[in-house]
Copies of this chain bind each other. A is one copy, B any other.
Amino acid sequence: MNFNKTTEYSLRILGFMSIEEDKIYSAEVLNENLEIPFRYLRKQLTKLSNNGLLTSYRGKSGGYMLSKPSKEITLWDIIEVTEDIDHTHQCIFGFEDCAFGQRCAIHHKWEKIQEAINEMLKDTTLEELKRIGPQRFISQHNLMLTKNV
| Chain A residues in the interface with B (C-beta under 8 A) | 1-3, 5, 8-9, 11-12, 15, 75, 79, 83, 85, 92-95, 97-100, 104-106, 109-110, 113, 116-117, 120, 124, 128-129, 131-136
Residue of B nearest to A133 (CB): B95
For the complex formed, measure the closest distance between the CB of A82 and the CB atoms of chain B, giving whole angstroms.
11
* A133 partner, pick from B8, B9, B93, beta carbons under 8 A: B93
**Contact at B110–A120, with CB atoms within 8 Å?**
yes
Measured between beta carbons, the chain B residues less than 8 angstroms from A105 are 124, 128-129
**Contact at B124–A1, with CB atoms within 8 Å?**
no
Report how far A106 CA is from B12 CA in the complex, Å.
Answer: 13
**Contact at B2–A93, with CB atoms within 8 Å?**
no
Given contacts A99-B135, A104-B129, A116-B116, 4 further A-B contacts (CB under 8 A): A11-B92, A100-B131, A109-B124, A110-B120
- Report if A83-B136 is in contact (Cβ < 8 Å); known contacts: A8-B93, A75-B106, A128-B105: no
**Contact at B1–A93, with CB atoms within 8 Å?**
no
For the complex formed, measure the closest distance between the CB of A148 and the CB atoms of chain B, giving whole angstroms.
28
For the complex formed, measure the closest distance between the CB of A41 and the CB atoms of chain B, giving whole angstroms.
14
**Contact at B128–A117, with CB atoms within 8 Å?**
no
Residue of B nearest to A15 (CB): B93
* A113 partner, pick from B95, B100, B113, B133, beta carbons under 8 A: B113
